[in-house]
Amino acid sequence: MLIIEGELDEPRSVDPTELRRLPAQIDDVSTVVPGRDGSAVWLRDVLAQSGLRPSARFATLASGDGKFAISVPLQPLLDRAMLVYRKGDAPLPASKGGPVRLLLTGKLECEAPDIDACAMVKGLARIRVAAEREPDVGHVHH
């Protein structure tokens, strides 16, 4: 279950079967992110269905085990993020970052000015949109 909360008109929880029913499916993510596999939906479509408020400027992406969370600017996520939730007709396995993994398009770097490559969270369980940046958990640059 993926919890989507914060600066939204309708916070909610979605499971991978609900993601599969959304329009604009990406049936093969390797066409958008070479070297990756699975099927996905754009994060912007999921957030739009929840009524993203104008005050939302950041998103905190948190893993299900509670050991990792990163707060990043929202706009690059809206431009570049997809939620991978299945491989073939099966749910995305944990070995591939399932049940939901966030992937980003384009060139990625750690500590990039627009969005950190570490935002590609495996085992994504919570997305909290906020007006202000929130503290990271378990995220340290070396």
Tens-place pLDDT, residues 21-66: 888 899 999 999 999 999 999 999 999 999 999 999 999 999 999 9
The reported pTM is 0.92
Written as six digits, the tokens of 138 are: 């378990």
What pLDDT, on the 0 to 100 scale, is given for residue 107?
73
**CB-based contact 30:37 (threshold 8 Å):** yes
Question: Residue 119, by phi and psi: left (phi above 0), alpha (psi -120 to 50) or beta?
Answer: alpha
Strand ranges (E), 7-137: 12-14, 25-26, 39-42, 58-63, 69-73, 81-87, 90-91, 101-104, 124-130
- Torsions phi, psi for 45 (to 5 deg): -70, -40
